[in-house]
Amino acid sequence: MPGAIYAEGLVKTFGDVRALDGVDLDVPQGTVLGLLGPNGAGKTTTVRCLTTLLRPDSGTAVVAGLDVLRQPDAVRRSIGLSGQFAAVDEYLTGRENLQMVGQLYQMSARAARARAGELLEQFHLTEAADRPAKTYSGGMRRRLDLAAALVVSPPVMFMDEPTTGLDPRNRQQLWDVIKQLVSDGTTLLLTTQYLEEADHLAHEIAVVDHGRVIAKGTSDQLKARTGGERVELVVHERDRIQDASGVLRGFGKGEVTVEEHTRKLTVPVTGGAKLLAEVIRELDARGVEIDDIGLRRPTLDDVFLSLTGHVAEATDEDNGQKAGRAAQDRRRRKETTK
């Protein structure tokens, strides 16, 4: 039986750009799929196709048991969506925004009011609840948009970069909200540029590049695929780097990487903790003092880099915000020099 979110062979072109080139996905009910990929990989396009906002050129998609192409209205009633760019009504207050969503979903005015109150509380927006959303900071808008996606508790949720622009505390709180939702049975597809977020929340990860899923698996499976462990150490004295490098070469399964300015050396290994103990004994025997040593597994960042050849990049929204700030600064400077 297909999962709560199922897609097969989704293709979407925009002129010459093949944004989706045959995306396949299958997300079991009550789990989180993390969609990772560099900028322009096709993540948002995938989300838009699955949420009926965009019609794919070909392929099939089933969400909450409903055919996305044939039953778009029913699909819309069964999903919640928080897009990459917060979609809040600037002129309404935070509270009005949430109440409006409730009423769109045919809640009674009273139920919508109560639900709005709960969400404002949960997303720490109570103080700002009665101010127009246009006075909100970027992070507040994002939180309001996420709250709006949660007004009704739909069985399937889509979140496109939900925590971009949130500070660490708000990000952590959103993670808690997401975990709660999922433990209550919600199925979630989320895209993110924060690999730690995928590591933390996603049961399965799909890496997308050039409109295709190029790798799929749990975080651990992807890490194992990328290749094993490495020993990382920091030498106490710069002039012992060569000696430490010699020791590591003897134990390693590949080249020793040296970062002169941090005195950090890294080498790929197999053999786990036992090997680590041997390395430490050998360093000690040669009198090489170390500040730090450890056995490191590949991170999801390493996985991403090795699969796509990119490091995870800042998003357009980040850049947009930065560009916006730079423009503001320029305007301010102009004003003061007038």
Ligand X SMILES: Nc1ncnc2c1ncn2[C@@H]1O[C@H](COP(=O)(O)OP(=O)(O)OP(=O)(O)O)[C@@H](O)[C@H]1O
Interface positions with ligand X (CB under 6 A)? 14, 17, 19, 37, 39-45, 84, 315-316
> Is 214 in contact with 183 (CB distance < 8 Å)?
no
Tell me which of ligand X, Mg ion, none is bound by residue 222, counting a contact when its beta carbon lies within the kind-specific cut-off of 5 to 8 angstroms.
none
Query: Whose CB is nearest to Mg ion?
Result: 44
Q: How many CA atoms lie within 13 A of 126 on its CB side?
A: 8
| Alpha carbon separation from 328 to 140, 141, 321, 322 (Å, rounded) | 19, 19, 10, 10
Instruction: Tell me whether residue 14 or residue 91 sits nearer to ligand X (CB atom).
Output: 14
Residue 46 as a binder of Mg ion (CB under 5 A): the answer is no
Tell me which of Mg ion, ligand X, none is bound by residue 312, counting a contact when its beta carbon lies within the kind-specific cut-off of 5 to 8 angstroms.
none
Instruction: Tell me whether residue 44 or residue 219 sits nearer to Mg ion (CB atom).
Output: 44
Listed in sequence order, the residues at least 6 apart from 270 whose beta carbon sits closer than 8 Å to its beta carbon are 228, 229, 253
Tell me which of ligand X, Mg ion, none is bound by residue 226, counting a contact when its beta carbon lies within the kind-specific cut-off of 5 to 8 angstroms.
none
Taking CB under 5 A as the binding criterion, the range among 39-47, 55-63, 176-184, 321-329 that sits at the site for Mg ion is 39-47
Tell me which of ligand X, Mg ion, none is bound by residue 326, counting a contact when its beta carbon lies within the kind-specific cut-off of 5 to 8 angstroms.
none
| 322, containing H or E segment | helix 316-337
Structure token digits, residue 147: 């709250």
Given CA atoms 59, 64, 66, 72 in this order, what sign does their dihedral have? negative
Report how many residues bind Mg ion under the rule CB under 5 A: 3
> Is 40 in contact with 198 (CB distance < 8 Å)?
no
Tell me which of Mg ion, ligand X, none is bound by residue 42, counting a contact when its beta carbon lies within the kind-specific cut-off of 5 to 8 angstroms.
ligand X
Tell me which of ligand X, Mg ion, none is bound by residue 14, counting a contact when its beta carbon lies within the kind-specific cut-off of 5 to 8 angstroms.
ligand X
> Is 146 in contact with 82 (CB distance < 8 Å)?
yes
Structure token digits, residue 115: 């639900």
Tell me which of ligand X, Mg ion, none is bound by residue 163, counting a contact when its beta carbon lies within the kind-specific cut-off of 5 to 8 angstroms.
none
Instruction: Tell me whether residue 269 or residue 312 sits nearer to ligand X (CB atom).
Output: 312
Question: Which residue from 46, 52, 82, 84 is in contact with Mg ion, where contact means CB under 5 A?
Answer: 84
Min. distance of Cβ 314 from ligand X in angstroms?
9
Min. distance of Cβ 33 from ligand X in angstroms?
15
Given CA atoms 175, 177, 180, 184 in this order, what sign does their dihedral have? negative
Instruction: Tell me whether residue 41 or residue 235 sits nearer to Mg ion (CB atom).
Output: 41
Q: Is residue 31 classed exposed, middle or buried when 0-12, 13-18 and 19+ CB atoms within 10 A define those classes?
A: middle
Min. distance of Cβ 312 from Mg ion in angstroms?
13
| 209, containing H or E segment | strand 204-209
Taking CB under 5 A as the binding criterion, the range among 37-45, 74-82, 93-101, 131-139 that sits at the site for Mg ion is 37-45
**Which of 274, 284, 296, 275 has the alpha carbon at shortest distance from 240?**
284
Residue 44 as a binder of Mg ion (CB under 5 A): the answer is yes
Residue count (the chain): 338
Tell me which of ligand X, Mg ion, none is bound by residue 41, counting a contact when its beta carbon lies within the kind-specific cut-off of 5 to 8 angstroms.
ligand X
Residue 164 as a binder of Mg ion (CB under 5 A): the answer is no
Min. distance of Cβ 323 from ligand X in angstroms?
14
Strand order in the sheet with 156-160: 79-82, 156-160, 187-191, 32-36, 204-209, 212-217
Instruction: Tell me whether residue 42 or residue 94 sits nearer to ligand X (CB atom).
Output: 42
Which residues contact Mg ion by CB under 5 A? 43-44, 84
